[in-house]
Structures are given as C-alpha cells and as structure tokens.
Amino acid sequence: MFRSMRRALQQLSDDECRRILEKATSGVLALSGDDGYPYAVPISFALDGDRIIFHSAVTGHKIDAIRRSEKASFCVIDSDSVIPEKFTTAYRSVIAFGKMRIIDDSDEKRRAIEKLSRKYAPEVSREMMEKEINSGWNALAVLEMRIEHLTGKQGRELLRKE
C-alpha cells in the first residue's frame, strides 16, 4: 500500500525515525481539507508507542477534515542545513502515515493530554499541569494518529559525514 523509498541507501531505520519523533517539538499534519484541497498544519505532538498524540480545539478545520477522512500524514524535519556552494541541503526528515481519530473516552483523553503536556513542560508540577488541563478541558480535543507506515530519509551529505 505504501511506496518503497527510491533511494534506499538514504533511508533511516525505524529506530532512528522514532528517536527523531521523540525529540522533535513540531511537525506538519496533513489532512484532506475543504473542497479536496490538502490541509497541512504545523502542530506540536508526542509519540506514544505506535501512535502520535496531538491537541486541537473541539471545532475547526482539523476536526472537520478528520471527520471527513481519517487518513493523514505527519512530517517532521530533524535537520535542514543549506549548502549553497553545492546547491543542495543536508537534511533528515521523518514521515508517518496513519489513521486519525478524535479521542472521546475521558480517561484516555486525560492520559494522552498528560503525555503531551509532560513532553513540553516536564518540570511543571502535577498540580499546575492538572489546573491547566482542567481549565481548558471543555474546549480541548485530543487526537490520535495510529502509525501504519513510518519512513525517514537523510540527504547524501549527512550520509557522507557518518
């Protein structure tokens, strides 16, 4: 169902892809938008096993797109360094493909948003985190993308350095 990478020597291992997803702080979520136009939105996230957790408002373009089609891709750029004299870029990126869902179960939603919160605010006290989550709970949607295919690639310039 998913294409093989044309330049297999540049393909990152599954472990390296997951390491990149663990440390990255933002990526671009691509959904099927209005009138057949792609909708790609920058967003924070947390990797949780074989799923990626996102947050959202309860209404809006993301929610409408997910309700229309569960299929999505998510891209993270780990490295991007322009090499002007060679007319190229030293890059490393990961793309995950999967199916989105809005987490409806309250307990599951709570665990997922806590995972996301811990990634971005690890030093914040449990009480402060709870207060923040509770204050926005009714306006908060938590989204999950189940990873069906994960691929990563690095530019030849980074391969040469290794």
- Domain with residue 19: its CATH number is 2.30.110.10
Mean pLDDT of 120-140: 94
Q: Is the pLDDT of residue 75 over 90?
A: yes
pTM greater than 0.85: yes
Q: What is the mean pLDDT of residues 113-135?
A: 94
Q: What is the pLDDT of residue 63?
A: 97
| Residue 11 predicted with pLDDT over 70 | yes
Output the CA–CA distances (angstroms, integers) from residue 129 to 30, 39, 92, 110, in the order listed: 29, 31, 33, 11
Give the orientation angle of helix 126-136 with respect to helix 106-120, to 10 degrees: 120
113 belongs to a structural domain:
yes
| Structural domains of the chain, count | 1
Task: Quote the domain boundaries for residue 56.
Answer: 8-156
Asked if the model's pLDDT at residue 22 lies above 70, the reply is yes
Length of the chain: 162
